Amino acid sequence: MKLFTSVNDVTDINALVADALALKKDPYAHQHLGKNKTLGLVFLNPSLRTRMSTQKAALNLGMNVMVLNIDKEGWALELRDGVVMNGTTVEHIREAAAVMGQYLDIIGIRSFPGLKDREEDYTEAIFNKFVEFCGIPVVSLESATRHPLQSLADIVTITELKTKARPKVVLTWAPHIKPLPQAVPNSFAEWMCRAEVDFTIAHPAGYELCEDFTQGATITHNQDEALKDADFIYVKNWSAYEPYGQMPEVKDEWMLTNDRLKITNDAKVMHCLPVRRDLELSAEVLDGPHSIVVHEASNRVWAAQAVLKRILESL
């Protein structure tokens, strides 16, 4: 593996999930792979789970890790070609990425969408330029439209905890006070559409995701219908794809409560975190026996470690 930016970079999802679960049982068995290898984690946006879990995964593999917080203010990168750099940007992504590629063996990059220009966000302009110019293997730490390490951890979690061969998995929209990216739901959807699950997406009208990611899913505006007999519920807010980045008519009753869980098949509740309590998801669910959000977060380590291991093996 030379690139991990979406499910399309994975030839056999089941094998990768099995790898992650094997690493969970025996985390330190491959430290020779990472010896004298350096992972750079470049954050253009803040991170807690992704930073810690990916760093831990790399350490488990014997790698060195450098964390770089490249604030858009502090070290502003120029992304456009053909401009005279007489403004606020101090370095072009062409040089910055190429130089990082000289010092690192693998690079992880986080770059959120601006949520203003859909074309720019959905072509993954920033992310793809890093990939193009750095010249080394790249792992997405969440890009404008996808969060594949999260999705891999999610499918690892479902595989680990499912009690039937083909569980019903529901991605349900949740309220929020500000427009969030579609990266997590896009990514979760495109992984679930390829997984051995029955996959349903529930959201209010106006919150349709881009069809490139949801092909094959059952989509409904009726949350109750979706939740019925669900084995896993994935709760997440996102802003509209059309009109892009907007928040049409927020429906507070979309917040999941214990009462609503009754119609499920004793469902396990997931969320990628951070979660706003009693806005996105009720505190009673988060503190109750249905929540597996912390367990899900812990699996971020094994997802990242499975991916880094594959890349190290290919160096």
Which of 44, 100, 217, 240 binds its own copies (CB under 8 A)? It is: 100
> Using the rule CB under 8 A, is 288 a contact of its own copies?
no
Write down the least CB distance from residue 300 to its own copies, Å.
8
Among residues 309, 314, 15, 292, the alpha carbon closest in space to that of 158 is found at 292
The first and second tokens of residue 210, run together, are 């881009």
Among residues 161, 152, 187, the alpha carbon closest in space to that of 265 is found at 161
Binding-site size, its own copies (CB under 8 A): 56
DSSP character at residue 209:
P
Which of 3, 28, 246, 259 binds its own copies (CB under 8 A)? It is: 28
Write down the least CB distance from residue 62 to its own copies, Å.
10
48 annotated as belonging to a binding site for a ligand: yes
Write down the least CB distance from residue 195 to its own copies, Å.
24
Q: Is the dihedral of CA 17, 274, 286, 205 positive or negative?
A: negative
Residues sharing a CB contact under 8 Å with residue 198, sequence separation 6 or more, in sequence order: 166, 167, 168, 169, 218
Q: Segment contacting its own copies (CB under 8 A): 7-15, 122-130, 233-241, 283-291? A: 283-291
> Using the rule CB under 8 A, is 24 a contact of its own copies?
no
DSSP character at residue 289:
T
> Using the rule CB under 8 A, is 220 a contact of its own copies?
no
273 annotated as belonging to a binding site for a ligand: yes
| CA 207 to chain CA mean position, Å | 19
Which of 141, 152, 293, 308 binds its own copies (CB under 8 A)? It is: 293
> Using the rule CB under 8 A, is 248 a contact of its own copies?
no
Give how far Cα 306 sits from Cα of 129, 187, 285, 292, 311, Å. 25, 18, 30, 21, 9
Burial of 56 (0-12, 13-18, 19+ CB in 10 A): middle
| CA 115 to chain CA mean position, Å | 17
> Using the rule CB under 8 A, is 93 a contact of its own copies?
no
Write down the least CB distance from residue 285 to its own copies, Å.
12
Phi then psi for residue 258, to 5 deg, are: -60, -40
Write down the least CB distance from residue 60 to its own copies, Å.
7
> Using the rule CB under 8 A, is 240 a contact of its own copies?
no
Residues 142 and 76 sit within 8 Å (Cβ to Cβ): no
Residues sharing a CB contact under 8 Å with residue 87, sequence separation 6 or more, in sequence order: none
DSSP character at residue 246:
-
Which of 17, 39, 43, 55 binds its own copies (CB under 8 A)? It is: 55
Which of 12, 32, 86, 163 binds its own copies (CB under 8 A)? It is: 86
Write down the least CB distance from residue 181 to its own copies, Å.
14
110 annotated as belonging to a binding site for a ligand: yes
Instruction: Map the footprint of its own copies across residues 154-193, applying CB under 8 A.
Output: 177
Angle between helices 300-314 and 49-60 (to 10 degrees): 50
27 vs 179, beta carbon nearer its own copies: 27
38 vs 218, beta carbon nearer its own copies: 38
> Using the rule CB under 8 A, is 27 a contact of its own copies?
yes
Which parts of this chain interact with its own copies (CB under 8 A)? 27-28, 36, 38, 40, 46, 48-49, 52-53, 55-56, 59-60, 64, 66, 68, 70, 74-75, 78, 81-86, 89-92, 94-96, 98-100, 102-104, 177, 273-279, 283, 286-287, 293-294, 297-298, 301
